[in-house]
Amino acid sequence: MLVVRAIHASDLDALIELAHQVGSGMTTLKPDRKMLGDRISVAVASFAETIPPEQRDYMFVMEDTTSGRLAGVCAIKGAVGLDEPFYNYRIGTLVHSSRELDVFTRMDTLYLSNDLTGATELCSLFLHPDYRSGNNGKWLSKSRFLFIAQFPHLFTAKLIAEMRGYQAEDGSSPFYEGLGRHFFKMDFNHVDHLTAMGKKSFIAELMPRQPLYVAYLPEDAQEVIGKVHLSTAPARRLLEQEGMHFEGYVDIFDAGPVLQARVSELRAMRDSTVATVDETATPTDTDPLLVSNTKLNDFRMIVAHANPVSGKLALTPDEQALLHCQGGDTVRTLSLNVRKNVHV
């Protein structure tokens, strides 16, 4: 059986093993013991509320309770860019015109930006290949939205998610090869590693501050601006279902899109409901439902097949055990799948 739960200090070895499966391009999940150990320490302190909300990094793992393996991981950072610079490119437009020559041109540009500083960030989503079946990926990604809906006061008004940018079959980044390499003089994986370790001062030191004309880049670099890694496309669709969208910000290394949303406009904020666990009711076979407990320091979530009725939700003893709850306790629910409006 699977459960999504708050990460524990004892998960470090299993998390490192999981991180070895990730590959390049995800700077927040490198198989480095010190980096991940420090991050887990921050996560444990976050759930315990012993550090300020803006410094928190809530990490969640999907655990296979039968084998004890970690099937996946995801996270929410309380706020980005407050301790170290948070850079993106903002896609803009410059107009050049001459009435005398009857010439009018619009040129796409890239501006080095810190506009998203202070936003809450969804990050570090990864599901082990052995578990990429059924609803597991969808469940893992959407678990974070139910957590935000339960504890909205812990997060900023704006939510962002940096998506991994497009990579060629050999693992190279066309955008980085067409732009970044000229300034950084090192391989993409090396830059990726430096940013993962928090060494970002070189970005401001080496990147130009003036707007960059997109038309000056090689065609293959231009084509991938705002395009996601092939394996990231499903994750993007899931986030968009929950209310996130692209507003013209991209990663400065691989040009992956940054999705944004206002927390108040998320589907989970609008549609999630609270219910009381009812031990006497009979569970029914319905559409999958995300169900979480309401405990910050022991947050847990499952997928159940039940519908809240008159504010009560039928859960089996096994489901209650996975949630660390019992009859009479309050849980929060949200349909796993987006329900389309039917017009008659």
**Active-site residues: which are they?**
229
Amino acid at the residue 293: N
What DSSP string describes 61-98? EEEETTT--EEEEEEEES-SSSSS---EEEEEEEEEEE
CA distance 27 to 198: 9
The answer to whether residues 314 and 282 touch, using CB atoms and an 8 Å cutoff, is yes
Q: How far apart are CA 208 and CA 210, in angstroms?
A: 6
DSSP state of 229: P
- Determine the length of the chain: 344
Q: Residue 237: how many CA atoms within 13 Å on its side-chain side?
A: 10
Separation between Cα atoms, residue 331 and residue 340, nearest integer Å:
24
Give the Cβ contact number of residue 49 at 10 Å: 12
- CB atoms inside a 10 Å sphere around CB 291: 26
- Strand 2-6 versus strand 300-304 pairing type: antiparallel
